[in-house]
Amino acid sequence: MKWGFFLLPMLALSAQAGHVHANSLAPWGSAPVIQQTYSKQKVVFDTTSGSTAGLTSVLDRASLISILNGADPLDNKIVIVLHGGAIPFFAIRNYAKNKDLMHRAQSLSVGDVVEYRMCRAAARLQGFNPEDIHGFVKMVPMADAEIVRLQQEEGFAYMR
């Protein structure tokens, strides 16, 4: 008897909801928008993508996080740690074929919200020294160790 008390109203609601949207392409309606503000976020992107689309996606996401946080260098910080397939994009010798992407990357670093740090060990394995990499990128000894340090010591959130 107790179950009937709960079950009957639920069945009535589900039948009514099914009837309302039976012919609709959106049986659950549309997504509600949550108005949200963001501030003081610190994010580290672990970036290994060797494709233009992959790196562009990281730059787009970093840019949007910066904008949503007010692009205030005192309030938020975004570090893009580069290793693996992402390294050659930032090589000076590859500038001609990656010109637009590199101008976009460099422009995000203006204002000190977005910073690039490259794995020196991985760069070396690919035949690159610090003098082979664009000047808006800083070299760190190891990408993984830098990501861990940023998370543990500086409270950065990890993004892939």
Residue 14 lies in a domain: no
pLDDT in tens, 93-150: 999 999 999 999 999 999 999 999 999 999 999 999 999 999 999 999 999 999 999 9
Q: How confident is the model at residue 159 (pLDDT cuts 50, 70, 90)?
A: very high
Residue 8 lies in a domain: no
Residue 100: give its domain's CATH number. Answer: 3.40.1260.10
3-state SS, 64-81, equals: HHHHHCCCCCCCCEEEEE
Q: Which residue has the higher pLDDT, 18 or 158?
A: 158
Q: How high is the pLDDT of residue 19?
A: 45
Residue 137 lies in a domain: yes
Residue 151 lies in a domain: yes
pTM of the model: 0.83
What counts of helices (H) and strands (E) characterise the chain?
Answer: 5, 5
CA pair distance 87, 90, nearest whole angstrom: 6
pLDDT over 90 for what percent of the chain? 82
Lowest average pLDDT, out of 11-20, 22-31, 85-94, 125-134, goes to 11-20
Residue 135 lies in a domain: yes
Q: Is the pLDDT of residue 43 over 60?
A: yes
What's the total number of domains in the chain? 1
Phi then psi dihedrals of residue 51, to 5 deg? -110, 150
Q: Is the pLDDT of residue 1 over 60?
A: no
Residue 118 lies in a domain: yes
Expressed as residue numbers, the domain containing 85 is: 42-159
Residue 13 lies in a domain: no
Distance of CA 122 to the CA centre of its chain: 21
What is the average pLDDT score of the chain? 90
Of residues 160, 148, 85, 78, the one with CA closest to residue 112: 78
Q: How high is the pLDDT of residue 23?
A: 55
pLDDT in tens, 54-87: 999 999 999 999 999 999 998 899 999 999 999 9
Q: How confident is the model at residue 17 (pLDDT cuts 50, 70, 90)?
A: very low
Distance of CA 39 to the CA centre of its chain: 16
pLDDT in tens, 89-106: 999 999 999 999 999 999
Residue 21 lies in a domain: no
Rounded alpha-carbon distances, angstroms, from residue 65 to 70, 97, 104, 121? 9, 27, 15, 29
